[in-house]
Amino acid sequence: MDIGLTLPRTGPLATICGLRTVAIAAEQAGYASLWASDRILVRADRTSSARLRDDTTLDPIVSLTAAAAVTERIGVATKTLLAPLYSPVLLGRAAATLDRLSDSRFTLGLALESSAAEHAAVGVAPGDHQCRIEQMLEVMARVWRDEIVEIETTREVVAPSTIALKPRARRIPIVLGGRGDADLERVARRGDGWLARGVPIVDIAERWSVVTRIAEAYARDVQRLRLVVDAEVLIGDDHGWRNDFVGTVEAVRVDIERAREAGADELILDLNGSASSVGHLLDLAAELTDGVEVTV
């Protein structure tokens, strides 16, 4: 099982110095990947003023570009990019650019968890997210692959045109989030992996078996599909009960091992909620993986 790290994204950790330090240290330590989250806004009536000051979320593509610029081997990936808020043509261009600048180290992770407030803020009408993600995947596939791009959806019309910027392989690996039946079917049919985020560890193996079974029916090579588990870690006293990846360091290490046993190919440590500094984040990552059977 590979281990990835979520880049600093909030509060005093979310600086260019913090990004550079984590990116360089993660590569030197042998971690597999760096991930960046996406969140556009947090409504003022749902959080305190102090939380508002500390909940700044850096743009994920820009953050990963900064990380790629100071590294050579480690993968860079978006985690839960809020797909319905983006134009697939512009997102396809940004992804192809990062693919080129990172020497094909980029993976595009997409999710559907955008809020009505975020749709209103960016001027994109909410709609059928399941339909929209299918449209986006098809548009980006053609933008990346075809010499002459021509496509029409309910939102885009691309007249026969050349879009010269292509990823080096004419495609970019895509991991998809979601836990519903339609989400898992899409992973099996179109994705390169499933990002299990917010899914109880006890349910992951069963949900993943659904993906692999459907993928086999589509005659896909299931050995090439990746199960990626997102671990949002909160270190503290578990008070006798706890959610996955919440509790003492030893308890979280147990959960990491449980994720490996559930079949995870990669686990993303998100320590933004636990680390008080960049140094603390790196030390905590090392402590959590010490003695655990992982590939780092």
Q: pLDDT-based confidence at 113, cuts 50/70/90? A: confident
Mean pLDDT value of segment 120-125: 77
DSSP assigned state of 228? E
pLDDT of residue 44 exceeding 90: no
User: From CA 175, how far away is CA 197, in angstroms rounded?
Assistant: 12
Q: What per-residue confidence (pLDDT) applies to 111? A: 87
How many of the other CB atoms lie within 10 Å of CB of 169? 11
Strand partners of residue 66: none
- Asked if 21 and 278 touch (Cβ cutoff 8 Å), the reply is yes
| pLDDT, position 9 | 84
pLDDT at 48: 47
What's the angle, vertex CA 82, arms to CA 34 and CA 61, rounded to 5?
40
The per-residue pLDDT for range 56-75, each reduced to its tens digit, is 688 999 999 999 999 999 99
Summarize the confidence of residues 278-296 as an average pLDDT: 84
Strands 33-37 and 226-232: unpaired
pLDDT digits (tens, 9 = 90+) for 201-239: 999 999 999 999 999 999 999 999 999 999 999 998 765
261-264 CB contacts, 8 Å cutoff, 24+ apart: 262/201, 262/204, 262/205, 262/208, 262/227, 262/229, 263/204, 263/205, 263/208, 263/227, 264/1, 264/196, 264/204, 264/227, 264/228, 264/229
Q: State residue 16's pLDDT score.
A: 94
Cβ proximity of 137 and 174 under 8 Å: yes
**Could you identify the residue written with the tokens 């680390």?**
275
Q: Does domain 2-289 have CATH number 3.30.540.10?
A: no
Domain boundaries, the chain: 2-289
Between CA 199 and CA 115 the distance in angstroms is 19
Q: Write down the pLDDT at residue 53.
A: 44
Do 40 and 68 touch, CB atoms closer than 8 A?
Answer: no
User: Is the per-residue pLDDT at 125 higher than 90?
Assistant: no
